[in-house]
C-alpha cells in the first residue's frame, strides 16, 4: 500500500538515492488529524468509504506516512478491512499532479486492495496502471488497473484472483486483519518483501527506469541513457559497499 515511488519522480542523478531512502528497512506512520485533509479531496474519501461500508467493509482508521511526508507530499491513507478480514483496502489522494501521459489533469485518488497468503506472498490490486511503473517483487502479485476503474470492478478483479490463488494451493489460507494494529503488521511484512527485493537488485531495475522515463514522454534513446546511468550508479555503490 502506498508505494512512495508513485509520487516521487526522480531524475537520473538521484534515482538510486531516492530508492534507497524510500525502500529502507522500516517506514514511519502517524495517526492522521483533521488538518491533514486540508489539501485533499475529503468528499472523495467519504464517498469511497461509504461504498466500501455498503459492502460491509470495516473502517480501521486514518494514517499518514511520515516517510512520504518527508518527501514533501502529505496524504492520508484511510484503511478498511473486508468483512472476513482477508482483504485490506487503502484509499488516498495525491494532491500533486503527475507528469505521466494519460493522467494529466486527473485527480490521483488511489485505491489499493491487498491480501496476504499463508505462504508469505501477497496480492495487490490498484488503480495505478498509468502512474506506477515499478517492477514488483515476485512475491507480490500485482494487478494494475486504470486510474478511473470503478471500485466495484477493482473488488471483483481482486477477489476473483484471490479465490483462484487459494484454489490452486489446497490447504492455503489468507491472513485475517481485524484491527489497525493488524494492518500495521501486515504492511511491515509486505514492506520487508519490497526491501529484500530492492536490496537484491541493487535498488534499481533498468527496465523500470526506462518505463518511468517513457511514461513522461521521454524518447527511447534518452530513456535508455537514464536507465543506464542509474544502473551504473547502483553498480558503483555496490562495489564501494563490498570493498
Least-confidence region, from 46-50, 157-161, 169-173, 223-227: 223-227
- Please report the pLDDT score of residue 236 as a whole number: 63
- The more confident residue out of 75 and 229 is 75
Average pLDDT over residues 105-124: 94
- How far apart are alpha carbons 63 and 17 in whole angstroms? 25
Average pLDDT over residues 9-16: 51
At 165-221, the pLDDT tens digits run 999 988 889 999 999 999 999 999 999 999 898 888 776 766 666 666 655 666 666
**Residue 78's beta-bridge partner residues?**
62, 91
- Please report the pLDDT score of residue 241 as a whole number: 52
Q: Return the closest-CA partner of residue 5 out of 101, 125, 118, 128.
A: 128
Average pLDDT over residues 26-51: 95
- How far apart are alpha carbons 166 and 27 in whole angstroms? 30
pLDDT band at 162 (very low <50, low <70, confident <90, very high): very high
At 76-94, the pLDDT tens digits run 999 999 999 999 999 999 9
Q: How do the domains of the chain map onto residue ranges? A: 4-242
**Residue 106's beta-bridge partner residues?**
none
Amino acid at each position: 500500500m502506498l508505494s512512495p515511488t508513485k509520487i516521487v519522480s526522480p531524475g537520473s542523478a538521484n534515482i538510486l538515492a531516492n530508492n534507497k531512502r524510500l525502500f529502507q528497512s522500516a517506514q514511519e506512520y502517524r495517526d492522521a488529524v483533521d488538518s491533514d485533509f486540508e489539501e485533499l479531496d475529503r468528499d472523495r474519501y467519504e464517498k469511497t468509504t461509504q461504498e466500501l461500508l455498503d459492502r460491509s467493509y470495516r473502517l480501521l482508521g486514518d494514517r499518514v506516512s511520515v516517510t512520504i511526508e518527508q518527501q514533501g507530499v502529505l496524504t492520508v491513507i484511510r484503511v478498511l478491512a473486508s468483512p472476513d478480514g482477508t482483504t485490506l483496502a487503502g484509499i488516498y489522494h495525491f494532491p500533486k499532479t503527475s507528469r505521466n501521459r494519460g493522467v494529466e489533469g486527473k485527480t490521483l485518488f488511489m485505491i489499493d486492495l491487498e491480501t496476504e497468503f499463508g505462504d508469505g506472498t501477497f496480492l495487490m490490486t490498484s488503480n495505478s496502471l498509468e502512474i506506477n511503473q515499478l517492477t514488483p517483487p515476485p512475491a507480490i502479485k500485482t494487478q494494475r488497473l486504470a486510474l478511473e476503474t470503478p471500485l466495484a470492478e477493482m473488488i471483483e478483479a481482486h477477489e476473483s484472483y484471490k479465490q483462484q490463488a487459494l484454489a490452486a494451493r489446497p490447504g492455503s489460507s489468507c491472513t485475517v486483519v481485524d484491527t489497525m494494529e493488524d494492518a500495521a503488521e501486515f504492511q511491515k511484512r509486505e514492506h520487508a518483501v519490497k526491501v529484500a527485493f530492492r536490496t537484491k537488485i541493487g535498488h534499481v531495475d533498468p527496465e523500470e527506469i526506462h518505463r518511468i522515463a517513457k511514461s513522461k514522454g521521454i524518447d527511447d534513446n534518452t530513456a535508455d541513457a537514464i536507465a543506464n546511468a542509474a544502473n551504473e550508479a547502483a553498480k558503483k555503490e555496490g562495489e564501494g559497499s563490498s570493498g
